Amino acid sequence: DTAVSQTPKYLVTQMGNDKSIKCEQNLGHDTMYWYKQDSKKFLKIMFSYNNKELIINETVPNRFSPKSPDKAHLNLHINSLELGDSAVYFCASGQGAGYGYTFGSGTRLTVV
Amino acid sequence: KQEVTQIPAALSVPEGENLVLNCSFTDSAIYNLQWFRQDPGKGLTSLLLIQSSQREQTSGRLNASLDKSSGRSTLYIAASQPGDSATYLCAVSRTSGTYKYIFGTGTRLKVLA
């Protein structure tokens, strides 16, 4: 039973399209995160939601919009995709300050 | 601003060797530090979580130490095996502002059979 699940696992799309990535966690955690891993494998935080409330919004183009319908879900919608958006996007969840993260298996986005 | 550095960037060792991976961070005001493993094309698997009040944590052949005052952590892998081949990432969380992890650049480990 997967703790943090992301869909899709792979996503190939053309420039200019709009796409969404979904994330669900069944751990009962209050906080969820989106991280981006670039081609050099560096992981950088994008967003964080705590109980459906946005608490972290790093310097990310406003083409990226997270949505959290409930505390178990955090989806990422990307408008007008660009070549530079190609990366692996990871969802994670945690119980808050002082606790570790549990990561999903990632979504490899390729923009052509 | 917290910066996390991991040395070496890549490491290749013969099977059976004991090895040490290093992680350093610039701001010692951390909640905790977490070590992860990432296999190629896969997600991150949590290995060990050390709270700021702890000096070390152990799990099987893995031992992670934390010296908060000097901004350093080490991950010790005993009797390495080819299955240990992966990228190892450390991440630190800060005590000020919103809770989040800042990741290091990773060490790519290859254990040769």
Q: Band the pLDDT of A24: cuts 50, 70, 90.
A: very high
Pairing of strands A31-37, A43-50: antiparallel
**Cross-chain residue pair A101–B34, CB shorter than 8 Å:** yes
Task: Tell me if chain B has a CB within 8 Å of the CB of A42.
Answer: yes
Mean pLDDT value of segment B44-55: 93
The verdict on whether omega for the bond into residue A66 sits within 30 degrees of 0, i.e. cis, is no
Q: What is the mean pLDDT of residues B34-41?
A: 92
Interface test with B, best of A21, A41, A89, A91 (most B CBs within 10 A): A41
Q: Does A54 touch chain B (CB under 8 A)?
A: no
pLDDT in tens, B94-107: 876 677 899 999 99
- Can you tell me the mean pLDDT for A5-13? 96
pLDDT digit string, tens, across residues A76-107: 999 999 999 999 999 999 987 778 899 999 99
Q: What is the mean pLDDT of residues B61-65?
A: 97
**pLDDT surpassing 80 at residue B9:** yes
d(CA A109, CA A80): 14
- The mean per-residue pLDDT over the stretch B57-72 comes to 96
CB B47 within 8 A of CB B36: yes
Does the beta-carbon distance from B51 to A41 stay under 8 Å?
Answer: no
Look at residue B49 and tell me whether its pLDDT is greater than 80. yes
Q: Predicted confidence band at B39 (pLDDT cuts at 50, 70, 90)?
A: very high
**A3 shares contact with chain B (CB less than 8 Å):** no
pLDDT of res. B97: 65
**Quick one: pLDDT at residue A54?**
87
**Beta-carbon count within 10 A of A2 CB:** 10
Where are any strands of DSSP class E within chain A? 4-7, 10-13, 19-25, 31-37, 43-50, 53-57, 64-70, 73-78, 87-94, 101-103, 107-111
- Give how far A85 is from chain B: nearest CA, Å: 18
- pLDDT at residue A96 in the model: 76
CB contact under 8 A, B46 and A103: yes
CB pairs under 8 A between A and B: 58
Smallest Cα distance from A104 to chain B, Å: 6
Which one-letter DSSP state was computed for residue B70? Answer: T
A31 in contact with B, Cβ within 8 Å: yes
Mean pLDDT of B7-13: 94
Across A49-53, A57-61, A106-110, the highest mean pLDDT is recorded for A106-110
